Copies of this chain bind each other. A is one copy, B any other.
Amino acid sequence: MTAGAEPSRTEATRHRLLEAATQAFAERGFHGTKTRDITNAAGTSSAALYVHHKSKEELLFLISKAGHETTLAMMQQGRQASDDPREQLRTVVKDFVADHARNHGRARIVNYEMAALDPEHFDEITSLRHRIDVELIDLIASGIKAKAFDIPDPRIAASAILSLGIDLARWFTDDFRLAPDELGEEYAELALRIVRARAD
Q: Contact residues of A with B, CB < 8 Å?
A: 29, 31-32, 111-112, 156-157, 159-160, 163-164, 166-168, 170-171, 186-187, 190, 193-194, 196
A160 touches B156 (CB 8 A): no
In the complex with contacts A186-B156, A190-B157, A164-B164 CB distance below 8 A:
yes
Majority secondary structure, A binding face: helix
Copy tally for this chain in the complex stands at 2
A156 touches B194 (CB 8 A): no
Pick the contact of A193: B112, B170, B196 (CB < 8 A): B196
Question: Which chain B residues lie closer than 8 Å to A166 at the CB level?
Answer: 167, 170
A167 touches B157 (CB 8 A): no
Question: Which chain B residues lie closer than 8 Å to A112 at the CB level?
Answer: 112, 170
Question: Which chain B residues lie closer than 8 Å to A160 at the CB level?
Answer: 164, 187, 190
Alpha-carbon distance between A2 and B194 when the two chains are bound, in angstroms: 59
The 5 closest A-B pairs by CB, nearest first: A163-B167, A167-B167, A193-B193, A156-B186, A163-B164
Alpha-carbon distance between A193 and B194 when the two chains are bound, in angstroms: 6
Distance to closest chain B CB from A183 (angstroms): 8
Pick the contact of A111: B32, B159, B170 (CB < 8 A): B170
Distance to closest chain B CB from A128 (angstroms): 15
16 cross-chain CB contacts under 8 A? A29-B31, A31-B31, A31-B32, A111-B170, A112-B112, A156-B186, A156-B187, A157-B190, A160-B187, A160-B190, A163-B163, A163-B167, A166-B167, A166-B170, A190-B194, A193-B194
A177 and chain B: residue at smallest CB distance: B155
Distance to closest chain B CB from A108 (angstroms): 10
A168 and chain B: residue at smallest CB distance: B163
Question: Which chain B residues lie closer than 8 Å to A194 at the CB level?
Answer: 190, 193-194
Question: Which chain B residues lie closer than 8 Å to A167 at the CB level?
Answer: 163, 166-167
Q: Which of A156, A190, A196 has the most CB of B within 10 A?
A: A190
Alpha-carbon distance between A170 and B170 when the two chains are bound, in angstroms: 11
